[in-house]
Amino acid sequence: MVEVLFYIGVLQLTVVFLAIAAGLISLTLFRVSHQNKELSAWKSLMVVVVLFALVEVVGFLDAFNIWREINYMRHIIPSFVLIFLIIAIIKQIAVTKEQRCS
C-alpha cells in the first residue's frame, strides 16, 4: 500500500512540474503570436495551457491535503478552458477563411 501511495505521489509531482513547464513555454510563445497575424488563435490556446497548468496545481494541492478549500476550482477552471478553446477554434477558422479570400 505504501508503494502505491509513493508512486501516486511521484506521478502527481511529475504532472505538476510538466504542467508548469508547459505553462511557462506557452507564456514565452505569446510574444511570437503578436508578430505573426496567422497565429492569432494561439493567444487563446496559450490561455488554455496556462489554465490547464493551474488545474494541475490545484489537483496537486488537493491530493496532498495542502489546501483543500480550493477543490471546487477543479470543476470551474475546465469550464474556462473549454470557453477559450472554442474561442481559439473560431479565431482559427476566421484566419483560414481570410487567407483563402486573399
Write down the pLDDT at residue 86.
95
Residue 1 scores a pLDDT above 70: no
Count of domains in the chain?
A: 1
- At residue 84, the pLDDT reads 94
Q: What is the pLDDT of residues 49-65, one digit of tens each?
A: 888 888 888 887 877 77
**pLDDT for the residue numbered 81:** 93
Domain that holds residue 70: 2-101
The residue among 99 and 23 whose pLDDT is bigger is 99
List CB contacts of 19: < 8 A, sequence separation 6 or more. Answer: 52, 53, 55, 56, 57
Q: CA 9 to CA 1: how far, in whole Å?
A: 12
Which DSSP state fits 72? T
What pLDDT score was predicted for residue 2?
Answer: 66
**The model scores a pTM over 0.85:** no
Q: What percent of the chain has pLDDT over 90?
A: 17
Q: Indicate the pLDDT class of residue 88, thresholds 50, 70 and 90.
A: very high
- In this predicted structure, what is the pLDDT of residue 4? 74
Separation between Cα atoms, residue 34 and residue 40, nearest integer Å: 7
